[in-house]
């Protein structure tokens, strides 16, 4: 019971914590039924410039953070291709992070990204050969609005 009480106190403290001055207030509107029916959760997201890929991981583990995704939806699935092998299906690690277990370090990388809005873009050679973990690569391609 003590553990539950401490968790409740922690949640309440977060709820009543003063707002950070560098954050802007935001709102969302829900038009569906009380049971979640009729929600239909696509709101177009406007972004400038193209999709970005941040490559993390180590040796035979690539962890790719996909950011600046515009249009209706988010990343539904993606694949990666190095200089030599064919396309490798990636799996969602957490949030916008996608992973694969392959030895792609240093190879030029291409990505195929499928959005939940039904669009597919191939980002061919977006990461040049000789890259290293921790770098971010920007593209000019973007999902339609």
Nearest alpha-carbon partner for 120 in 138, 143, 99: 143
The pLDDT, as a whole number, for residue 13 is 44
Domain with 71 in it: what CATH number?
2.60.40.760
pTM: 0.69
Is 38 a member of any domain? no
Is 36 a member of any domain? no
Is 87 a member of any domain? yes
User: Which of 29-38, 105-114, 129-138 comes out lowest in average pLDDT?
Assistant: 29-38
Which tokens go with 109? 């990388």
For residue 62, pLDDT over 90 is answered with yes
Is 103 a member of any domain? yes
The domain in which residue 115 lies consists of 44-138
Phi, psi angles (nearest 5°) of residue 77: -160, 160
**C-beta separation of 52 from 137 below 8 A:** yes
User: Which of 1-10, 33-42, 52-61, 97-106 comes out lowest in average pLDDT?
Assistant: 1-10
Element housing 6 (H / E): helix 2-15
Domain count, the chain: 1
DSSP state of 18: P
Is 118 a member of any domain? yes
Is 145 a member of any domain? no
For residue 97, pLDDT over 70 is answered with yes
Is 6 a member of any domain? no
Is 92 a member of any domain? yes
């Amino acid at each position: 019971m003590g553990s539950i009480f401490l968790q409740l106190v922690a949640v309440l403290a977060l709820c009543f914590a003063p707002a950070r001055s560098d954050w802007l207030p935001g709102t969302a509107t829900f038009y569906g039924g009380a049971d979640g029916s009729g929600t239909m959760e696509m709101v177009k997201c406007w972004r400038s410039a193209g999709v970005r890929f941040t490559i993390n991981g180590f040796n035979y583990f690539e962890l790719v953070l996909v950011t600046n995704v515009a249009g209706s939806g988010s990343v539904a699935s993606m694949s990666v291709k190095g200089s030599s092998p064919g396309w490798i299906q990636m799996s969602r690690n957490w949030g916008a992070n996608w992973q694969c277990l392959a030895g792609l370090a240093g190879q030029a990388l291409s990505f195929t990204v499928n959005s939940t809005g039904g669009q597919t873009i191939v980002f061919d050679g977006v990461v040049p050969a000789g890259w290293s973990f921790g770098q971010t690569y920007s593209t000019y391609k973007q999902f339609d609005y």
